[in-house]
Chains A and B, each alone.
Chain A
Amino acid sequence: MPASIRTLRSRIRSVSSTKQITRAMQMVAASKMRRAEEADTASAPYVKAASEILSYLASQGETKDHPLFAKRPIKSRLIILVAADKGLAGAYNNNLLKRYVEELKKDDGKIKNDTITVGRRAAQFATRLKDTSVIAVYQDLPDRPAGNELRAILDTATNKFTSGEVDDVDLIYTAFNSTISQEVTMVHLLPAGFTETPVSEEVREAEYEPNAQEVLSSVVYRILGSQLFQALLDARASEYAMRMMAMKNATDNANELVDDLTLEMNKARQGAITQELAEISGGVEAMK
C-alpha cells in the first residue's frame, strides 16, 4: 500500500474521532441549554410577585428616600461582567468582552471603573486592562447558582453603592432570546428602578410590618437578586446555545472533511491500481 493512502486513512480516522467528540459536546450543550432555559422561566412568578409589591410602594412615594434608589452624579461605576468559564463556544466570550471594552471606553477615562467578573474568561481579560480595577472574581459557578453565590455578588454591589463608593452599577451579560439568537445586553442594576406592574386590591390594602421602608428594602433586595439570577441563567443558556452551534458546525466540517478525504483516498487507490496494471501490461509488451 503506497504511503499516501496510508496517511489519508489515518487522517480520516483522526478526523472521525474528533467528530465523535464534537458531536458529544454538541449534545451535552443542548441538554444543558434546555435545563438553563427551564430554570430561567421558573423564576418568572417570583419576579412578578415582587414587582407588584415594589410597584405599589413606589406609587406611595416610599422609594424616594431609600438609599438603593439614590440618584447621584456618576463619578465611579461598577460593572458586573458575566462570561463563561470555558471557551469553545463560538463568539460568546469575544462578543461580550468587546461590548465591555466599549463600555469602559465610553467615558474617556473621566469615570473610575470597577469590575466584578463572573467566569474565568472574564477574569483573565479584565485583570489585564488598565481602565478598570477588578474587585471580585467568581469562577465555576454551578449551572443553577444558589442563594449563597448570588448574595455574595449582590452584597458587594449594594454595599459599594450605599457607601457611596460607586454611583452606578451595571450588569453585562448575554441575553437568551432563542436557540439561534442571543445578544449581549447591559442591564442597569443600581440605582434601582422599577417596572410598572398592575397592583392587586390585596396589596393596596395591606398593612406593612414592621414598616413600609423595611419591607421595601427586602423587596428591592429580592428584585435585584432575581435580576442577577436571571442574568446568570440567561448567560448560561446562551453559552450552551452558542457552544451547541459551534460544535454542530465543527461536526459538519468534520463530516465534509471525511467525505473529501475518502474521495481523495479512493482516487489515490484507483490511481495505484491503474498504475500497477499499466506496469504489468507494459512488462508483458516488453517481453514480446
Chain B
Amino acid sequence: MQLELITLLGVKVSEPVYEVIIPTADGEIGVFPGHEPLISIATPGILAVRRQKIDDDDHLEYFAISGGVIEIAPKRARILVDEADAAPDIIEAESRAALEAAMQLRDQATNQVELEKASRLIDRHSIRLKVAELRRHHRR
C-alpha cells in the first residue's frame, strides 16, 4: 500500500507501507492494504506507520500531525494535513519548553482570541511531546 503524507510544506512520505494508524474523529483507524475506498477527516494526533508486516509495535514510525483529510483506496492511503513532523525531527526538550510556554500563555490570556490561540498551541505541542516520548520509549 502506498502511503502519501502530504503537507503544505511538501510531500513528507511517499512509499509503500503495510499499515497506517490514523487518528480520526471516531477514534483511531488502522488501514491495511485492500481497504475499502474511504474519505474521512483526520484529527490532530499521532499517526503511526508499520512499514513491514513482520515489524512489531516497537518498530512503528510516528508522526505528529495536525488535522486534515484522509483519502483511502485499496492500494493507496493519501493523508492531507497542514503539518506533519516525523519523530526524529522533534526535539523533546524543545517541545516541552514550548508546551510550558503555551500553558503560561493560556493562564495569562485575557480574551477569547488569546485563549483559543493558546489552547491550539497546547494541543500542538502536547502531541509533539507525546511523539517524542514514544520514540524514546521504543528505542530502549
Contacts and interface: CB of A to CB of B under 8 A. Distances in A.
Interface of A: 39, 42-43, 45-46, 49-50, 53, 144, 146-148, 150-152, 202-203, 205-210, 214-215, 218-219, 222, 225-226, 229
Given A147-B82, A202-B73, A202-B76, A39 B41 contact: no
Contact of B39 (A53, A146, A225, A226): A53
B8 to A, nearest CB: 5
Contacts of A45: 6, 10-11
Contacts of A208: 38-40
B6 A46 contact: yes
B16 interface: no
A209 B24 contact: yes
B130 interface: no
Interface of B: 4, 6-11, 24-26, 36-41, 66-69, 71-74, 76, 78, 80, 82-83, 117, 120-121, 124
Contact of B83 (A50, A146, A202, A218): A146
A202 B82 CA distance: 22
11 contacts: A43-B9, A45-B10, A46-B80, A49-B4, A146-B83, A148-B117, A202-B73, A206-B38, A215-B40, A222-B69, A226-B8
A144 B9 contact: yes
Contact of B8 (A152, A205, A225): A225
Given A43-B8, A49-B80, A209-B41, 20 more contacts: A43-B10, A45-B6, A45-B10, A49-B4, A53-B39, A53-B71, A144-B9, A147-B8, A147-B66, A148-B117, A151-B82, A152-B117, A206-B39, A206-B73, A208-B40, A209-B40, A210-B41, A218-B68, A218-B69, A222-B69
**For the complex of A and B, 5 pairs with smallest distance between CB atoms:** A202-B73, A42-B10, A206-B37, A209-B40, A147-B82
Given A42-B9, A222-B68, A215 B41 contact: yes
A-side binding surface: helix, strand, loop or mixed?
helix
A183 B50 CA distance: 46
Contacts, number: 91
Nearest to A38: B10
B69 A210 contact: no
Contacts of B68: 218, 222
Contacts of A146: 83
A146 B120 CA distance: 13
Given A202-B37, A208-B39, A218-B67, A151 B8 contact: no
A203 B11 CA distance: 19
Contacts of B41: 209-210, 214-215, 218
A148 B40 contact: no
Contacts of B10: 39, 42-43, 45
B6 A202 contact: no
A151 B37 contact: no
A207 B72 CA distance: 9
Nearest to A230: B8
B121 A148 contact: yes
A206 B71 contact: yes
Nearest to A149: B117
A219 B11 CA distance: 18
A53 B68 CA distance: 13
A16 B80 CA distance: 51
A151 B120 contact: yes
A63 B133 CA distance: 42
A215 B121 contact: no
A215 B39 CA distance: 7
A61 to B, nearest CB: 16
Contacts of A206: 37-39, 71-73
A149 to B, nearest CB: 10
A13 B74 CA distance: 70
